[in-house]
Amino acid sequence: MLHSIALPVIDGLAAFEFGLLSEVFGLDRSVYSDVPAFDFRVCGLEAGRPVTTQVGAQVIPAYGLEAMEHADVIAVPAAQIRPAEEYPEELVDALRRAADRGAILLSACSGAFLLGAAGLLDGRPCTTHWRHAEELQRRYPTARVDPDVLFVDDGDLVTSAGTAAGIDASLHLVRRELGSAIANVIARNMVVPPQRDGGQRQYIERPMPQVSSDALGDVLAYMEDRLAEAHSVASLAQRAHMSSRTFARRFVAETGVTPMQWLASQRVLQARLALETTDASIEEIAASCGFGSATLFRHHFTREVGIAPSAYRRSYACEAAEMLETIAATPERDLVAAH
């Protein structure tokens, strides 16, 4: 479940990572969509005490650290990296208590260093901005730092790489807990792609999903609009006015994955939404999403999602019903996002 989110802030706060976490979780979109309003709280060491940022502005948290005590998610933005002993002791202790009670910990960029200072990365797979990955590994040698991915989902610990990868990790968490439909609404309103796979390389020629080549951008849009159709590297290269070899090389350099991997991931994403929101059969979804057969669909879906399509549909239906029951039983005042 994902209902309440606490965002702790300290001096040296990174404005972009603070902003992206606030954008995903802090805005009340329930007035024009089916996205539930999150109970969102910005928490400082002391309520009302300004926190400095790296861009010369200040943020004034409305809550103290006590507001973290019952949050489902603790979203830790990037901040100026400092020695472990210089992170506020009371915040470090609050993070440990949150982990002990089973809260989900989400970090953006260098927010992972604060989690490391609390001992919460020990023995866990994680990531951070590629520029800081070596230092994170040096400080916390038992952490399993992967510098080559956008984000790492280790259940109750989700860590992301630099800047925009925090958006990917946040939307991934929303999708994991609340489903693709809600994640897609948030992504659409943020005008960002609904999903980039966490295993995509973070350090590529152009880490954002938008591509520098108009030809490749046109091909991506063409593929996305025609997921049900058959595509080959040769046919896509011809549309981009490139040789097959050049097209394949440029595609990987721009997106981090091969054309067929990208296509399969987008088809699985569309299939997830169909499984969550329609009663279509597995065979019908396989055909509408461009898989040649139900068998091929099951193969790709299970490899990417981790469970079979039918099991995913059953699991999501149960989670959705539980969420609706929880919302129905929650007082209306507690469903209003706190800003």
- Name the 3-class secondary structure at 12: coil
Across-strand partners of 160? 151
- What lies within 8 Å, CB to CB, of 315 at 6+ separation is 307
Helices (H), 152-195: 165-178, 180-190
Closest listed residue to residue 233, CA positions, set 257, 214, 212, 206: 257
- Residue holding tokens 């394949």? 248
CB–CB of 150/165 below 8 Å?
A: yes
Catalytic residue among 43, 109, 126, 289: 109
Query: Is 318 tagged catalytic?
Result: no
CA distance 110 to 10: 13
Q: For tokens 């879906």, what's the residue? A: 301
Q: Can you name the residues that pair with 126 across neighbouring β-strands? A: 145
Beta bridge partners of 152: 159
What count of Cα atoms within 13 Å lies in the side-chain half-sphere of residue 52?
5
Catalytic residue positions?
109
